[in-house]
């Protein structure tokens, strides 16, 4: 209720934000509107709504995208699981223990954030060639699984704030790392782990450049790759079906977002602010 | 925190050990059994089994037939994806570099980029041996038209790295397609010369249609190369003859290209070469508005553009498209005459493509040396023998957009129906018996150079640069690129 | 940052055993990070001195760097990059901040939630999809030209991505009004962490809405602004998806940026040596920006402590 204290300013805010909301949401309107058009409707009226809305466009696009959804599921599922598991192990070691070389390890992880992804794309690609996994899902999953520096740093700050007395009690009970990890760290850090999972999924779902470099087989394409192929590769123009494909591609993230807005926002902001 | 340097060393050691372990895990792949069993992988050019109406589907059928004859063997496809030929070449290169090419590699456009004795299996010694799937005395005799395709791809040192199907040398794979309804409405007919071609487009433009839909950017941006080649070939007949010193003829190798440049036979300073660029730009006034932007939609199919590029490969898509309600026909890029340019030689326009041209023109196969090392040569060679044996060649021919026929056959002989004659005319006249001179292009030095040349064409077409400045820049690009080529080919005979 | 939990005193060897177990906990992460980040960072630098062919890498000395220095088109692309970066820095320091401040001051929490939803929503649309929509908006028969025709500006309609004078501005204009998404969220969370007492004191002092912004809000979210400016600079130094999908750097070279040229060299032209050389230059730029940022941050932290 902070706004109440300064009067006479609410209206201007509403007006400005409402006005700018129109262009902000315009691409989403374009997407949903065009996705329901057949070629005739598109040629006649590309911008204004037309009836009937052709839901069958979605079915057509889905047939083209189905396989790539499965690929994304595998890639993102596997790599996010690995990232969360390994990153939380490392963050636990860093946050709750002191050992020789701790500072070195910490800064080695931190410095990765300064290495730009695009710049190491060439040698990363050559490495994948040397490992002989070019054009397999491993070529995507392995570097994605290594993409954990940011998660480690965020989890480190979070784990550091946990109360030491619990750890002490557990240690007196004779608990090992595994038990402390599964009975104390994980249960107490569920929200931040969930946020980090969402952050990783969001980041991986959007990635286009890396998979386009290492996945050249049609059967391995990710959703982002398949989408560009769908839009560019058609002999007969199908703007409706193409946009329907876009809507379908955006849907998982939209759903994830709608059902977990709070976690999503905290996940993304915590991920970025700590950068 | 005091023992940082010690633990750092320990960490490093652990990392090195881990690296080695993972390296071994990847390196020790199970060796496959030799002979006609186990698995045989083939890199196919896109999803060849996706569309039964596509001409390339017959290759899929033949591959399956062969697999059926060898039930102990499992044939698997690896898709060479990518949107453009360049993407697919990159795919082959990267797999070649990582020594992970499949056992057999299918390719539409054979390229001397890949030809290397250490990387590909030399098929030439096999040519004199018999093909078990044929009654001919030697494999060589199975190739039609006195093994024209073998001659076309035989390297100067007598090696041969590709074998496959080719269409009769008499049919083209590219043409222009036109909207007959627009032609009738405007009152123009198929042009016979370049001047007439520009004239009818002026009338079409005045009537409010797009005269010619020419993509110069986006996934089909490479289509701008074709008309430029055809213009160039008409103007540079002498240059081509002088540059083309080694077999295979009507193909300029990288060596010949560099030699011609260094000797001043073929340089950007040649006024005839510059004239080809100028003519292209003069024509561009009849292209769609904003032709430098990636095209959105298909104005020809929508009935807004009168003419555009066509390939035999795309004909089935046009024929099956419900939006194409108008009559259409094809004609080839018209001849340059003295009316259009003082450099005109009166030469008949040559065809885009050669016996190695892709799509409905031909399909080729290569066997990498890694296949030999894996002990998979026998089944791979058997597959090539089967595919190129006369019955299979015939089956493939019958499934092309335009069936194979003897050289000299006219469109009337092949298609009695006058509508079909109009639709296919552009692929028959002028005869494709004389195809274009493959790779008479400065960009053939590397894909890098090719990209830079195409960018430069765009700059020139978009008025960002004058012709003189473009040629100066082109020359400096070539100087670097060709010196790099010379440096990476120490075996070249330097005779300049 | 480096807080030290209590270390239990123990026997020397027992302690070493415990240390080994801790290293083992971190080992998988460290192996993956070294293999996929540090090893490529070093080998990328080495590749920039080689020429890579299908047969392998050959030492080429400084040839790639010599070519880089003589490549006028590449140097011009750095000019394009500078324009894009400067524009986006100005944008990120104003537009999303304005949205965040206006939303922060909203009195109705429901309205605030609704607006927040609206301004975050575009973020969840994958970037590739967003770019494809903008490509349609800019096309000859696309959204922008339709809108212009509606308001009687038919004379200025064109294929926006085919106009070499305007294509760079078209790329900058993507995502107009640049208010939503992550930047906005970071500002908003920064504003929400400002202590209420400050605002209460401001009320007592009779501070108006404009002064309130300059006296309280702006100074206290300086960190967020600095962070976002840095992120924006680094983002645009590295990223090339936008020109890649919209224009492929065209027409001609008009919208080329160094990152895209590097991408072309590697993935399309198979000139890995040259691509690595461009990559090394970009790495030095990004690293320099990050160091500068860290130094400024440390100086400010020191000033605050005093």
Q: Which domains does chain C have, with CATH numbers?
A: 67-305 (1.10.3720.10)
Token pair, residue A58, equals 């979605």
Residues 6+ away with beta carbon under 8 Å from B67: B73, B74, B75
**CA end-to-end distance (rounded Å), chain A:** 31
Residues B325 and B259 in one domain: yes
Q: How many CB pairs under 8 A join A and C?
A: 286
| pLDDT single digits (tens) B140-192 | 998 877 787 788 788 888 899 999 877 655 567 889 999 999 999 999 999 99
pLDDT of residue C187: 87
Residues B211 and B348 in one domain: yes
3-state helix, strand, coil in chain A (%, to 5): 75, 0, 25
Angle between helices A56-96 and A102-112 (to 10 degrees): 160
The one-character DSSP state at B349 is P
CA distance A177 to chain B (A): 20
CA distance A45 to chain C (A): 10
Q: B25: buried, middle or exposed (CB in 10 Å: 19+, 13-18, 0-12)?
A: exposed
- Place C196 in a pLDDT band, splitting at 50, 70 and 90: confident
Per-residue pLDDT averaged across B231-258, rounded?
A: 89
Residues B98 and B239 in one domain: no
* Binding partners of B (≥3 Cβ pairs within 8 A): A, C
- Place B337 in a pLDDT band, splitting at 50, 70 and 90: very high
Residues B257 and B141 in one domain: no
Residue B391 lies in a domain: yes
Expressed as residue numbers, the domain containing B220 is: 174-353+415-488
Q: Kindly report the number of other CB atoms within 10 A of residue C301's CB atom.
A: 10
Query: What are phi and psi for residue B358, nearest 5 degrees?
Result: -90, -155
- Place B206 in a pLDDT band, splitting at 50, 70 and 90: very high
Instruction: Say yes or no: B225 contacts chain A, CB-CB below 8 A.
Output: no
Instruction: Say yes or no: B464 contacts chain C, CB-CB below 8 A.
Output: yes
Instruction: Say yes or no: C189 contacts chain A, CB-CB below 8 A.
Output: yes
Tell me which of A53-57, B83-87, C49-53 is least confident. Answer: B83-87
Angle between helices C39-47 and A121-131 (to 10 degrees): 100
pLDDT of residue B32: 37
| pLDDT single digits (tens) B247-263 | 777 888 899 999 999 99
| pLDDT single digits (tens) B392-422 | 988 888 888 887 777 677 888 889 999 999 9
Give A-chain residues touching C49 at CB under 8 angstroms.
none
Residues B430 and B465 in one domain: yes
**CA end-to-end distance (rounded Å), chain B:** 66
Entry field: residues in chain C: 306
Q: In sequence order, what DSSP letters do the residues of B168-219 get, joined into one string?
A: -TT--SEEEEEEHHHHHHHT----SBHHHHHHHHHHHHHTTSEEEE---SST
pLDDT of residue B484: 86
Residue B287 lies in a domain: yes
Instruction: Answer whether residue B28 shows pLDDT above 50.
Output: no
Per-residue pLDDT averaged across B316-321, rounded?
A: 82
CA B306 – CA B488 distance, rounded (Å): 47
Instruction: Answer whether residue B479 shows pLDDT above 50.
Output: yes
Are A274 and A199 in contact by the 8 Å Cβ rule? The answer is no
Residues B141 and B72 in one domain: yes
Name the CATH superfamily, with its identifier, for domain A56-273: MetI-like (1.10.3720.10)
Which of these, B486, B439, B397, B441, lies nearest to B143 by C-alpha position?
B397
CA C113 – CA C99 distance, rounded (Å): 13
Which of these, B228, B222, B257, lies nearest to B489 by C-alpha position?
B257
The alpha carbon of C56 is separated from its chain's Cα centroid by a whole number of angstroms, namely 34
Instruction: Answer whether residue A79 shows pLDDT above 90.
Output: yes
What percent of chain B shows pLDDT beyond 90?
A: 49
Residues B151 and B234 in one domain: no
A135/B1 touch (CB, cutoff 8 Å), yes or no: no
Which of these, B453, B197, B427, lies nearest to B329 by C-alpha position?
B427
CA C161 – CA B195 distance, rounded (Å): 31
The CATH number assigned to the domain holding B427 equals 3.40.190.10
Q: Kindly report the number of other CB atoms within 10 A of residue B26's CB atom.
A: 12
Query: Which contiguous run of DSSP H or E holds residue B39?
Result: strand B38-44
Residues B370 and B459 in one domain: no
Per-residue pLDDT averaged across B472-477, rounded?
A: 94
Nearest to B3 among A100, A134, A216 (CB): A100
pLDDT of residue A20: 92
CA distance A129 to chain B (A): 5
CA A176 – CA A173 distance, rounded (Å): 9
Instruction: Answer whether residue B13 shows pLDDT above 50.
Output: no
Helix (H, G, I), strand (E, B) or coil at C129: helix
What percent of chain B shows pLDDT beyond 70?
A: 89
Instruction: Say yes or no: C187 contacts chain B, CB-CB below 8 A.
Output: no
Give C-chain residues touching B218 at CB under 8 angstroms.
248
C67/B292 touch (CB, cutoff 8 Å), yes or no: no
Prediction ipTM score: 0.84
CA C176 – CA C173 distance, rounded (Å): 6
Helix (H, G, I), strand (E, B) or coil at B139: helix
Query: Which contiguous run of DSSP H or E holds residue B77?
Result: strand B73-79
pLDDT of residue A116: 66
What percent of chain A shows pLDDT beyond 70?
A: 87
How many domains are there within chain B? 2
Give A-chain residues touching C25 at CB under 8 angstroms.
89-90, 92-93, 177
Instruction: Answer whether residue A90 shows pLDDT above 90.
Output: yes
The one-character DSSP state at B73 is E
Query: What are phi and psi for residue B73, nearest 5 degrees?
Result: -105, 140
- Place A84 in a pLDDT band, splitting at 50, 70 and 90: very high
Query: Which contiguous run of DSSP H or E holds residue C53?
Result: strand C50-53
Query: Which contiguous run of DSSP H or E holds residue B307?
Result: strand B305-311
pLDDT of residue A5: 47
- Place B22 in a pLDDT band, splitting at 50, 70 and 90: very low
Instruction: Answer whether residue C102 shows pLDDT above 80.
Output: yes
Residues B373 and B387 in one domain: yes
Between B218 and B286, the more confident residue is: B286
Give C-chain residues touching B290 at CB under 8 angstroms.
140, 158-159, 161-163
Residues B383 and B242 in one domain: no
Q: Kindly report the number of other CB atoms within 10 A of residue A210's CB atom.
A: 21
Show me where the domains of chain A are located. Answer: 56-273
* Highest mean pLDDT pick, B432-441, C11-20, C222-231: C222-231
């Amino acid at each position: 209720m902070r706004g109440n204290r300064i009067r006479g300013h609410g209206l201007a805010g509403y007006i400005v934000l409402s006005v700018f909301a129109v262009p902000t949401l315009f691409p989403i309107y374009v997407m949903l509107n065009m996705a329901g058009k057949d070629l005739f409707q598109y040629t006649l009226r590309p911008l204004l709504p037309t009836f009937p809305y052709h839901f069958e466009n979605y079915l057509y696009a889905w047939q083209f995208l189905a396989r790539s959804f499965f690929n994304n599921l595998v890639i993102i599922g596997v790599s996010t699981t690995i990232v969360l598991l390994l990153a939380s192990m490392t963050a636990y070691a860093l946050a709750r223990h002191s050992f020789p070389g701790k500072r070195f390890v910490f800064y080695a992880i931190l410095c990765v954030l300064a290495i730009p992804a695009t710049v190491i794309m060439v040698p990363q690609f050559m490495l994948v060639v040397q490992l002989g996994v070019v054009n397999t899902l491993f070529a995507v999953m392995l570097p994605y699984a290594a993409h954990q520096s940011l998660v480690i740093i965020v989890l480190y700050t979070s784990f550091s704030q946990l109360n030491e007395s619990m750890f002490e009690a557990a240690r007196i009970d004779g608990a090992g790392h595994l038990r402390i990890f599964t009975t104390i760290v994980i249960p107490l850090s569920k929200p931040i782990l969930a946020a980090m999972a969402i952050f990783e999924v969001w980041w991986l779902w959007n990635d286009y450049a890396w998979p386009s470099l290492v996945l050249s087989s049609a059967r391995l394409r990710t959703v982002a790759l398949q989408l560009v192929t769908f839009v560019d590769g058609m002999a007969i123009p199908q703007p409706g079906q193409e946009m329907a494909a876009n809507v379908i591609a955006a849907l998982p993230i939209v759903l994830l977002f709608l059902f977990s807005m709070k976690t999503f926002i905290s996940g993304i902001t915590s991920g970025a602010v700590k950068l | 925190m005091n023992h940082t340097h010690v633990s750092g060393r320990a960490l490093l050691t652990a990392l090195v050990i881990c690296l080695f372990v993972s390296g071994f895990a990847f390196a020790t792949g199970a060796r496959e059994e030799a002979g006609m069993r186990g698995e045989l992988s083939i890199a196919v050019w896109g999803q060849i089994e996706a569309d039964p109406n596509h001409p390339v589907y017959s290759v899929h059928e033949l591959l399956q037939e062969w697999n059926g004859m060898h039930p102990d063997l499992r044939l698997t496809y690896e898709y060479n994806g990518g949107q453009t030929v360049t993407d697919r070449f990159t795919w082959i290169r990267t797999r070649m570099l990582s020594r992970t090419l499949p056992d057999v590699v299918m390719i539409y456009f054979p390229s001397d980029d890949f030809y290397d004795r250490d990387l590909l299996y030399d098929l030439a010694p096999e040519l004199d041996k018999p093909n078990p799937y044929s009654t001919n005395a030697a494999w060589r005799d199975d190739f039609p038209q006195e093994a024209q395709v073998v001659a076309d791809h035989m390297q100067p040192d007598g090696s041969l790295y590709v074998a496959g199907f080719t269409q009769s040398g008499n049919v083209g794979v590219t043409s222009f397609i036109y909207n007959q309804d627009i032609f009738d409405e405007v009152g123009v007919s198929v042009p016979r010369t370049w001047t007439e071609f520009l004239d009818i487009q002026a009338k079409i433009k005045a009537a409010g249609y797009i005269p010619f839909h020419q993509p110069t950017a986006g996934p089909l941006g490479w289509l701008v190369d074709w008309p430029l080649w055809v213009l160039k070939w008409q103007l540079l007949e002498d240059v081509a003859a002088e540059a083309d010193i080694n077999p295979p003829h009507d193909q300029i190798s990288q060596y010949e290209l560099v030699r011609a440049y260094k000797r001043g036979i073929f340089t950007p300073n040649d006024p005839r070469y510059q004239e080809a660029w100028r003519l292209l730009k003069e024509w561009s006034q009849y292209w769609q508005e904003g032709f430098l932007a990636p095209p959105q939609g298909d104005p020809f199919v929508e009935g807004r553009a009168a003419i555009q590029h066509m390939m035999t490969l795309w004909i089935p898509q046009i024929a099956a498209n419900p939006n194409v309600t108008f009559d259409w026909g094809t004609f080839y890029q018209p001849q340059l005459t003295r009316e259009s340019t003082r450099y005109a030689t009166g030469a008949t326009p040559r065809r885009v493509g050669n016996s190695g041209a892709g799509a409905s023109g031909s399909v080729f196969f290569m066997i990498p040396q890694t296949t030999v090392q894996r002990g998979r040569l026998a089944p791979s060679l058997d597959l090539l023998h089967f595919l190129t044996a006369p019955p299979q060649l015939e089956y493939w021919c019958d499934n092309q957009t335009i069936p194979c026929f003897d050289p000299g056959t006219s469109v009337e002989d092949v298609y009695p129906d006058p509508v079909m004659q109009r639709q296919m005319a552009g692929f028959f006249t002028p005869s494709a018996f004389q195809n274009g001179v493959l790779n008479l292009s400065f960009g053939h030095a590397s894909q890098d150079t090719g990209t830079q040349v195409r960018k430069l064409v765009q700059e020139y077409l978009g008025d960002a640069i004058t012709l003189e400045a473009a040629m100066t820049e082109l020359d400096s690009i070539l100087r670097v690129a060709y010196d790099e080529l010379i440096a990476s080919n120490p075996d070249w005979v330097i005779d300049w | 940052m480096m807080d030290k939990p209590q270390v239990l005193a123990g026997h020397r060897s027992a302690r070493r055993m415990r240390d080994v177990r801790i290293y083992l906990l971190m080992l998988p992460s460290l192996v993956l990070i070294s293999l996929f980040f540090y090893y490529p960072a070093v080998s990328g630098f080495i590749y920039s001195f080689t020429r890579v062919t299908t047969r392998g890498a050959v030492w080429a000395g400084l040839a790639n760097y010599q070519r880089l220095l003589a490549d006028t088109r590449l140097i011009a692309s750095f000019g394009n990059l500078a324009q894009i970066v400067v524009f986006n820095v100005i944008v990120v320091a104003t537009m999303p901040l304005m949205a965040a401040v206006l939303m922060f001051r909203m009195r109705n929490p429901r309205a605030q939630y609704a607006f927040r939803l609206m301004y975050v929503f575009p973020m969840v649309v994958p970037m590739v999809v967003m770019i494809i929509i903008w490509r349609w908006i800019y096309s000859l028969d696309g959204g922008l030209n339709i809108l212009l025709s509606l308001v009687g500006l038919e004379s200025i309609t064109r294929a926006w991505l085919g106009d070499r004078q305007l294509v760079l501005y078209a790329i900058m204009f993507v995502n107009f009004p640049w208010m939503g998404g992550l930047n906005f969220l970071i500002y908003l969370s920064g504003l929400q962490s400002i202590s209420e007492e400050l605002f209460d004191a401001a009320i007592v002092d009779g501070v108006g809405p404009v002064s309130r912004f300059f006296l309280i809000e702006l100074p206290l979210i300086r960190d967020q602004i600095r962070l976002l400016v840095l992120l924006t600079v680094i983002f645009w130094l590295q990223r090339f998806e936008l020109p890649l999908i919209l224009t492929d750097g065209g027409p001609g070279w008009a919208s080329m940026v160094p990152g895209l040229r590097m991408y072309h060299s590697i993935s399309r032209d198979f000139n890995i040596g040259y691509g690595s050389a461009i990559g090394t230059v970009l790495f030095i730029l990004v690293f320099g920006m990050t160091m500068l940022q860290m130094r400024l941050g440390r100086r400010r932290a020191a000033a605050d402590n005093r």
